[in-house]
Each structure stands twice: as structure tokens, then as C-alpha cells.
Structure 1
Amino acid sequence: MTTAPAPRAASLSLTSVWNRTVQWVTGTKHAVRSMSALRILFGIAILWLLLTSAADRHYLWGAGSVWVDPAVDRRGYPDILRVFFPKDDAALFDLSYATLVALTTFFIVGIGTRVVTPLLLVFWVALSTNSVYLTNGGDVVIRLVLLFCVFADLSQHWSVDAWLRRMRGPVAARRSPARMPPWLGTVAHNTVVVLCAYQVILVYVNSGILKLMGSEWREGSALYYAFHLDVFRVFPALSDLAGAVVPFVVVGSWVSVVAQIAFPVLLLWRPTRYAALVVLMGMHLSIGLLLGLWPFSLAMIALDLVFIRDRSWDRAWRTVTRRPFLHHGAEQVP
């Protein structure tokens, strides 16, 4: 009776896992389409908040919000951040606000993304620290993930940067000076993808556990109360209609808890992963539509997209472009 091969098999298995992990991290950039979509959705979420709050900006973050300074001081934010949005200089505040709007617009369309991303992070954090009572889950997630994204490639697709690279061609790309080894940029990008995935899992599991601790979620009545909170009733008639459908309220409450707590397990199998993403994205769309929390909803949907592989994006695009109605017009051309 021999047992010697067992340790060797285990060693080979660990070696194989290690090699595959190293290859995944250093071989090629992953989720480049998802990270490009994340750039757009994050930018829209930030711009949404800036534009809808523009008329009240001084009351929310400027001179009219001086009363929140004691709470801001207790948070211990660096004083340098207050240089960008001073509360005693309305003209400079407005200039910084306009700069933030411009940076967000550049971020959405993907112009100079490598430079714009860290600048957007600094200005966005500086504005957010002026009033600690206006933040919510979406703001926190955006600030944290933007820090990760400084080291990611966000402009491979759907950006002006990508269009300029195509116009210049491969020859110009080869002539451009290499500022860092290619593998280093790949490792940094893939590390950001992993951090974003971890952040999503952390948010969902913690949220699911906290919901499970509330009797309303266990009883299936939580959504009813959410639909009847006056501060979140963007469309009162629609909220009343949704809250009146008892099966929707009960099943929706339970499904949201189960999908969030079981999210790490559901990711392991492709069909359950896509089912969980559909459920959670639908939940966030409902939050945006019925509760008006669109910045939070867009931020979480953008992070959900990280779990969609580039091959899945390509396969979906090929499926859509093969639809008969897309080619109907071309067949009419003589």
C-alpha cells in the first residue's frame, strides 16, 4: 500500500492554482468593457447629483452649510481639501463647482481619463467633506471605488481616448514612450477589478445580514414601509400602487435579502451569477425609480457589471447584431 503520490498530487494542484492565478493577474486586462461602463455610470451618477443640486449648492456645501463644520472637524478630513471649496469665498466655490462638473463630463466621455480620474477624485472628495450629512451609501461607494479606479484602465471602450487610439493606429502606439512596463499596468487594472468585486460582495453581504436582523424584512413587510416614507416618495401614485400589491411586497422583501446574503455563493455558477445580477440590478432600478436614489442605484449597477466578463459582452453584442430587424433595412437596399 503506497500513499506517496498524494502529497505530490496536492503539490501539483496548488502549483496549478498558483500558476493560473498569476496568469490571470498578469496575462491580460479583464473586465475592460465593464470598467468602461462603470466609468460612464459613475460619471452620470456624480453629474446627476451636481446638476440637480446646482441651485442649492451654497446651502448644501457652501457658505450656507457652516453650521455642519463642527461635525466635519470631528471627521478629521485634511484641511487641504477645504482649499478647493471654501465656504468664505463664493466665487472660488462656484469656480471649483464648475470645474467638478467639467471633470465629470470629461470622465463620462473618456477624455484624458488617466489624468481626469485622480482630479475628479480629489474634487469630489473635497466637495463631499464640506457637509457630512448629505452623504449616503452611493456617495461612499463612489469615493472609495474612484480611488481604486485611479489605477485601472477605464477607457478601453466607449471613450474619446479609445477613438483617438484607433485614429493614431498601432504604429503611433508603438512609437509612444512607455512610461511603465505593460505587465505592471495589467496587474494594477486586474487588482482594481478584484477590489471592486470584493467591495460589491462586502456591501451586499453586510446589507443582507443587517436586513435579516430587522423583523420587517423577515416578515416581508419592509418594502411596504419603504414605499410610504414621505421623503422618498418621488412618484406617490406609483409607490402606492407598488405597496398595494402584497405578493410583490412580500416576495420582493424576501428575495432581496436572500440574493444579497447568498451573493458570494451564487457567483460560483454562471447561471446563478447572472440570475443574481438580474435580481439585484432590478432592485437598484426600483430603488432609483420609486425612491429617487439614482446616484446610489447607478453606482451599484456599475459595480454589478464587474462580474460580467468581456466574452459575455461580446457574445451579447453578436446576438443583438444578428437580430433580423437590424438587417431588415439593409436587405431593402438594391
Structure 2
Amino acid sequence: MNAAVLSVSRGIAHVTGAALGPYQTAVIRIGFSATWLLFLLRELPHRNELYGPDGPWSHDLAEQLLSDNGAFTALMWSDGRAWFEIVYAVAVLSSVLLLLGWRTRTMSVLFMVGVLSLQNRSVFMGDGGDNVVHLMSIYLVLTRCGRVWSLDARRARRAAAARARGERVEDRVGPVLWCALGFLLLTVTLAGGLDGDWFVPALLWAVWVALGLWWAVGRGGEGSQPRILLDVVTNIVHNGALVVIMAEACLIYATAGWYKIQGSRWQDGTAVYYPLHLDYFSPWPALSDALAASGTMVMLITYGTVAVQVAFPFTLFNRRVKNVLLAAMMIEHAVIAVTLGLPFFSLAMIAADAVFLPTSFLRRLGGWAARARGRLFGRGPSGGLAKAPDGGGRGDGSGRTATVPGPRAREAGGSVAGTGAVDGKDADPTHVGFRA
């Protein structure tokens, strides 16, 4: 009985005491913001036909659809070209700043607004990857995705070093940004711009209130009871969102695999042959013809795709098998990007797969990137973005660091919240039980 109680206590402390998977959420942030940014830049010459006033899906048709489903889009506030250009520019800018990790909590909200505004304006534009970006943009708002590999993490380290020298650190940008966005949100709400479905307006107001509360409580000191409570709540929300992201990725593969099993072309091993002969999915005809010419290759790819997609959710119980299938799926999506001409679908799926990458690999990857940047710019990696903030810097844009409280025991050389180390081991959120 005591062992069971102790196990439950450790589990609760594990979930509430730290934001798990900081490297995984950072990779997701970088991956999806980069995917959406590249898409927006590629379609920049055609933006008016895709989502703007020149598109075949007119403003009136969009209004009729949105009156039924209640979806959120800021583009419905005005049908003018100037307003569309402003929304598109905000979508591009928020993607860049989220990629860099500047004020990640605020930028994740603006990133979500940009994604929902454009995609809900013209619902028939996309290749499947847009659905993944759509969902993940909402989940990212709930995560602490700027704790590592971000400008926020670097600012938190510099603020901690300044306080250690006895200097006073003030964050002036955060309150100004909070007030400006609060005024804009209030204006839009009073004007009736958020009268559709309740979820997005509620999320926007909840995040805005939470950021103001976090700033107010943070001024009272690192060890105050309200600050501890907010840390615990934020960690729970982050960890819950991380689980939802992993479940979403597993659900995508499981449903895709089981639906394929029911198809006759997938059962006889010829399904891959047909898209290789469609002009729309053949950016490199010679490559498509070479793949389709081998019946054995077509059969192996067809059956292998189904097997990997169906089996992957079950491999989370075995880390080594999971890593092998994860590498296979990423390679498969890279091949799809080249052979079928679906780069943004593949990038979105690779970014979703990244949540299952081992923490040890991501930390080594960050070290390699830091050394490469140091050689490129002639400086060491210490001034870069790859290192996690000491003591679990929040990386939420406040400019402060925080030692995350929690009842878990610390062994010698033990845990540092927010660095991916728990009890001296890597905390890999992709493994059942979060064991190293």
C-alpha cells in the first residue's frame, strides 16, 4: 500500500513539478512555425487568389459557411484588400517571431490567430498538412514552448546573471505588449468580431488574463505561494497539452493505417502505383516512373506504409522499436515531399513526429547546432540559444527565471526543471512512464 501511495505521489510531483519535454515542444514550435512561414512566403504572389478578395471562394460564400459552423477568422471583419494585407503580414511576422522564440506565449497566440484566420477564410485550400497545422497552432498556445532554443530562454539567462550581480531587471516590453493587445481584444469583442463559436474568444481572453496575472504575481518574488500555484497550474496545462499532441499524432497514423487496410488497392499492394502516374503528383516524372517500374518496390512501399502506421502507436511501449519506426516515418514523409510534390504536408507531419524524438538526441542536436553557429560567427556556443536556462528559466517572455518548485526528491547531480533532466536522467515524454 505504501509503495502504491509513493508511486502516485511521485507521479503527481512529476506532472506538477516541471514542464516535461522542453526540447520536444521547442522542436514542435520551430517545425510548425517554419512550415507555415515557408507556405506563406511561397504563396505570397498568389495570396489574394488563395485567401484574399480575388479568390473564387468569395467573401459572401465564406460568410454563409461561417454562419453555420461558427469558425473564427479575422478576415471576416472586413472585405477590403488593405485589411487582408494586414492580416497576412501579421501571420508572416508572428511565424518569424515564434520561430525565433521571442515572447513565445504572445506570439503563439498571434500565430494561432493567423492560421485560423487564413485557413477558415478559404476552407478548400490545403493538402492535408493544413489540418495538422490548424490543430497544432491551438495546442502550442497551451505549452511552454520557449524554455529552450529561444530568445526568451536567452533573455532569461541574461536576466538571471544580471540579478546575480545585484542589478535590477525590468521588463518594459511585456506590459506594453499586453496592454496593446488587451485593448485590441476588447475593441474587437465589443464590436462583435468574436460572436461565433465560443472556444477561440474564451482562449484569447484566458491567455490574456493569465499573462497579466503571471506578471503581477512574478513581481512578488520567486518563492511566494501564488507564484508556486501558478507554476503548478502552468506545468499541468503544458504537460496535458503535450500528451494531447502525442495522442493526436498517434490518432492520425492509426486512423490512416486502419482506413488503408480496408482499401482493396492497399490489400493487393498496388496503391502506391496510382498516384505516381498522376501528373498533379509528379513534379519529377522520371523519378516517379522509376519507382513505379518496379512491382516489388511498389508492393514493399505499400505494405510497409500500412504496417508502420498501424504499428507505431503500439511501439511507444518500446523505445528502441519506436525510434526505428519514427525514423522510417520521417524518411517516408521526406520521400513523399520529393516524389509527390507535397512539401508542406510532409513538413507538417515531420514536425508532428518530432514530439517523439528522444531528449538525448535533441540535446546533442542542439549542441551540434550551437558549435556550428559558433564556428560560423566566430564565437562560442554559450551565447546562443541551444542551452536551457539554468534553474528552469520560464522562457515565457517575462525576462525572469524561476526555480520550479515541487516535492520530488533530488539525488546527487539531480534534476533541473526545464532542461529535460529528471532525477539525473533524460525525461523523454515519448516513452510510457517517462522513464529514461
Tell me if TM exceeds 0.5. Answer: yes
How many Å separate the matches in 2 of 1:264 and 1:79?
Answer: 31
Q: Does 1:61 align with 2:51?
A: yes
**Counterpart residue identity of residue 345, structure 2:** F
User: Which residue number in structure 2 is paired with residue 201 of structure 1?
Assistant: 250
**Counterpart residue identity of residue 275, structure 2:** A
Q: Does 1:313 align with 2:362?
A: yes
Query: What are the ranges of 5 or more consecutive residues in structure 2 without an aligned counterpart?
Result: 171-214, 219-226, 376-436
Distance 1:39 1:84, change over 3 A: farther
User: Which residue number in structure 1 is paired with residue 136 of structure 2?
Assistant: 145
**Do the aligned partners of 1:77 and 1:129 also contact (CA within 8 Å) in 2?**
no
Deviations 1:247-289 (A, max 9, x none): 3221111111111111121111011110110111111111112
Q: Find the partner of 1:81 among 62, 69, 73.
A: 73
User: Which residue number in structure 2 is paired with residue 111 of structure 1?
Assistant: 102
Q: Find the partner of 1:27 among 2, 17, 42.
A: 17
Deviations 1:44-91 (A, max 9, x none): 1101211111111111111122545536633535486244674x3112
Name the TM-score, length of structure 1 as normaliser.
0.84
Query: What are the ranges of 5 or more consecutive residues in structure 1 without an aligned counterpart?
Result: 1-10, 327-334
SS in 2 for 1:183: helix
How many Å separate the matches in 2 of 1:14 and 1:267?
Answer: 24
Q: Does 1:289 align with 2:324?
A: no
Higher relative contact order (CA 8 A, sep 6+): 2
How far residue 114 of structure 1 moved from its aligned partner, in angstroms, is 1.0
Distance 1:104 1:314, change over 3 A: closer
Deviations 1:176-209 (A, max 9, x none): 7545522222212111110101001110100001
**Do the aligned partners of 1:27 and 1:186 also contact (CA within 8 Å) in 2?**
yes
Identical aligned pairs, as a percentage?
30
Name the TM-score, length of structure 2 as normaliser.
0.65
SS in 1 for 2:307: helix
User: Which residue number in structure 2 is paired with residue 100 of structure 1?
Assistant: 91
User: Which region of structure 1 is more displaced relative to structure 2, 227-236 or 165-174?
Assistant: 165-174
User: Which residue number in structure 2 is paired with residue 158 of structure 1?
Assistant: 149
* Residues 1-12 of structure 1 mapped to structure 2, 5 A cutoff: none
SS in 2 for 1:129: helix
How far residue 116 of structure 1 moved from its aligned partner, in angstroms, is 0.6
How far residue 119 of structure 1 moved from its aligned partner, in angstroms, is 1.0
Kindly tell me the number of residue pairs found equivalent between the two proteins: 312
Q: Does 1:120 align with 2:135?
A: no
**Counterpart residue identity of residue 347, structure 2:** L
Distance 1:186 1:101, change over 3 A: same
CA RMSD of aligned residues (A): 2.8
Distance 1:237 1:116, change over 3 A: same
**Counterpart residue identity of residue 29, structure 2:** R
Q: Does 1:224 align with 2:214?
A: no
Distance 1:38 1:321, change over 3 A: closer
How many Å separate the matches in 2 of 1:280 and 1:32?
Answer: 23
Distance 1:78 1:241, change over 3 A: same
**Do the aligned partners of 2:127 and 2:342 also contact (CA within 8 Å) in 1?**
no
**Do the aligned partners of 2:75 and 2:121 also contact (CA within 8 Å) in 1?**
no
Q: Does 1:18 align with 2:8?
A: yes
* Residues 249-264 of structure 1 mapped to structure 2, 5 A cutoff: 249-264=298-313
How many Å separate the matches in 1 of 2:118 and 2:127?
Answer: 14
How far residue 132 of structure 1 moved from its aligned partner, in angstroms, is 1.2
Distance 1:303 1:67, change over 3 A: closer
How far residue 37 of structure 1 moved from its aligned partner, in angstroms, is 1.1
Distance 1:120 1:172, change over 3 A: farther
How many Å separate the matches in 2 of 1:293 and 1:13?
Answer: 51
**Counterpart residue identity of residue 309, structure 2:** Q
How many Å separate the matches in 2 of 1:60 and 1:265?
Answer: 39
How many Å separate the matches in 2 of 1:34 and 1:117?
Answer: 16
**Counterpart residue identity of residue 131, structure 2:** V
SS in 1 for 2:102: coil
**Counterpart residue identity of residue 154, structure 1:** C
Q: Find the partner of 2:26 among 31, 36, 40.
A: 36
How far residue 137 of structure 1 moved from its aligned partner, in angstroms, is 2.3
Distance 1:246 1:21, change over 3 A: farther
How many Å separate the matches in 2 of 1:237 and 1:17?
Answer: 58
Distance 1:12 1:296, change over 3 A: farther
How many Å separate the matches in 2 of 1:271 and 1:104?
Answer: 34
Distance 1:276 1:24, change over 3 A: farther
User: Which residue number in structure 1 is paired with residue 195 of structure 2?
Assistant: none
Distance 1:234 1:146, change over 3 A: same
Distance 1:16 1:290, change over 3 A: farther
How many Å separate the matches in 2 of 1:224 and 1:85?
Answer: 46
